[in-house]
Structure 1
Amino acid sequence: MPLHDLSHELGSGLPYPGDPAASVTPHATVAADGYRVAEIACTTHSGTHVDAPAHLQEDGATLGAYDVETFRFDARVVDCTDYEARAAIGADSVPETDADLLVFDTGFADRWGEECYFDHPYLTAAAAEQCADQNCHVGLNAPSVDPTPTENAGGDEPADFPAHRALLGNGCLILENLTNLAPLPERVVVHAYPLPVDADGAPVRAVAVSD
């Protein structure tokens, strides 16, 4: 069965506005120390990562509340590549499904590492609520399910992360900064296992398995 790596390399790309950059730097070298060790520095939301409810909720569940099986998803891919920069993905784009993960392909992964990556399409609160009503976790190849603040933000864009709140408030996880979605069929199994930290989120190695 073909495997598709849906993860950006940790330390690549640009950090979310206001967050520190992730880095992988040498700590010891073969030449100086006889062995090689690198130091990894990142946040719980660096690179390809998962958001847990604790990300926005004071008493929300952390990743430790979820069994490891939770991070194996029966996913449906939703083509949203026709949406322009900073366009709102409405509830009419959310299909009825028996999947437990809806992955929205915005087409923006090819802008990874560029400032324009942060002018991505985003989910409306109604779209996020429709996902939550179907008990669907959500993934996308963009930095956030809500609009990211940039100088191009419009005055009518929602504030206070309504899509995050609709999903996380119903116990739905969010996978952000996915990549390599274009080759995937509409239905696919996605494995996205976070680092074993009991936190509000963590980087993941996301891999899709297709027939």
Structure 2
Amino acid sequence: MCHVCVMESVKKKMLSRRDLFRGAAATGMVGLAASAARPALAQSTGKVVDLTHTFTPEFPTFGGEPGISMEKTFSIEKDGYQLFRVTYDEHSGTHIDAPLHFSADGASVDELAPEDLMCPLCIVDISAKAAEDANAMVEAEDIEAWISANGDIPAGALVAMYSDWAEKVGDPSFRNDADGNFAFPGFAQSATDMLNEMGVAAIGVDTLSLDPGNSADFAVHYSWLPSGRYGIECLAGLAGLPATGATIFVGAPKHGGGTGGPARVMAVL
């Protein structure tokens, strides 16, 4: 599907499903991270890992246009101090998707409960699958395998997909295949439906989208976000982190009525 067609499909689907979403996100966030995250913090060694890409106009975006611009409005030479006017797209760089992004009246980014932005971090490694298939997905069986190896996923956790895709930033293959089609890993709805039932607060990916690049229906966006949960896209630094045991801190923006925005995301071990 062409890039323009994908975006038009999203717009039409959001309008046609407006009534379905109305009230769907009214339940708000699950609010379970507070009790789950505090024990993880108590066990922390204090090591901090930055999971955020540096945000520049060259950073790849879903739409293909630069996601940020900076204009120097004051300078040391002229004014004695420096200041930039920064303009950015909410959904560019390492960023958060709030429920409002894919629902008519879901929670905006400023309405997310702060306790849900501090979560136990569980990392599902699908890098081997992704090396064989650019549109590989975290499936329900991957979640089951993770649980068998690591124990239960705690309520209020953030479950992140590690596909090793962050290493491709700066190369066209981060976004597209050789034919110019979107091609990158993401979550399957079979996995996110399972995580929803477990009371997981959020999901994250090291790619441009919660859904895989070849998705034509944005099934995960349309099911996960309207349920009152959020997502993080374009994570960095997941390589080398343990599958479990870290706490993730999501420094979400807080502009009123926002559907998301660039975030500083860190893991504490």
Give the TM-score normalised by structure 1.
0.89
1:98 aligns with 2:98: no
1:120 aligns with 2:120: no
Residue aligning to 2:76? 30
Distance 2:71 2:230 in 1: 30
1:138 to 198, 203, 209: 203
Residue aligning to 2:218? 161
2:165 to 108, 123, 133: 108
Deviation at 1:32, TM superposition (A): 2.7
Q: Deviations over 1:151-210 (max 9, x none)?
A: xxxxxx432210112211221210111001012112210001211213111111101000
Determine if contact 1:135/1:172 at 8 Å carries over to the other structure: no
Q: Deviations over 1:81-113 (max 9, x none)?
A: 112211233211124411511111010001113
Identity between Structure 1 and Structure 2 (%): 27
Residue aligning to 1:190? 248
1:209 aligns with 2:265: no
Distance 1:166 1:135 in 2: 14
Q: Deviations over 1:112-131 (max 9, x none)?
A: 13221122112112122112
Residue aligning to 1:147? 212
Q: For the pair shown, which has the larger CA radius of gyration, 1 or 2?
A: 2
1:63 to 88, 106, 109: 109
Distance 1:83 1:19 in 2: 29
Determine if contact 1:80/1:106 at 8 Å carries over to the other structure: yes
Q: Which runs of 4+ in 1 moved over 4 A?
A: none
Determine if contact 1:104/1:141 at 8 Å carries over to the other structure: yes
1:180 aligns with 2:226: no
Please list every run of 5 or more consecutive structure 1 residues that lacks an aligned counterpart in the other structure. 149-156
Deviation at 1:20, TM superposition (A): 4.4
Determine if contact 2:186/2:205 at 8 Å carries over to the other structure: no
1:81 to 110, 127, 135: 127
Aligned length: 202
Distance 2:185 2:204 in 1: 13
1:129 aligns with 2:193: yes
Distance 1:68 1:181 in 2: 23
Distance 1:21 1:170 in 2: 27
Secondary structure, counterpart of 1:169 in structure 2: helix
Determine if contact 2:124/2:162 at 8 Å carries over to the other structure: yes
Determine if contact 2:67/2:93 at 8 Å carries over to the other structure: no
1:8 aligns with 2:69: no
Deviation at 1:18, TM superposition (A): 4.8
Root mean square deviation, CA, Å = 1.7
Determine if contact 2:100/2:226 at 8 Å carries over to the other structure: no
Distance 2:187 2:119 in 1: 20
Give the TM-score normalised by structure 2.
0.70
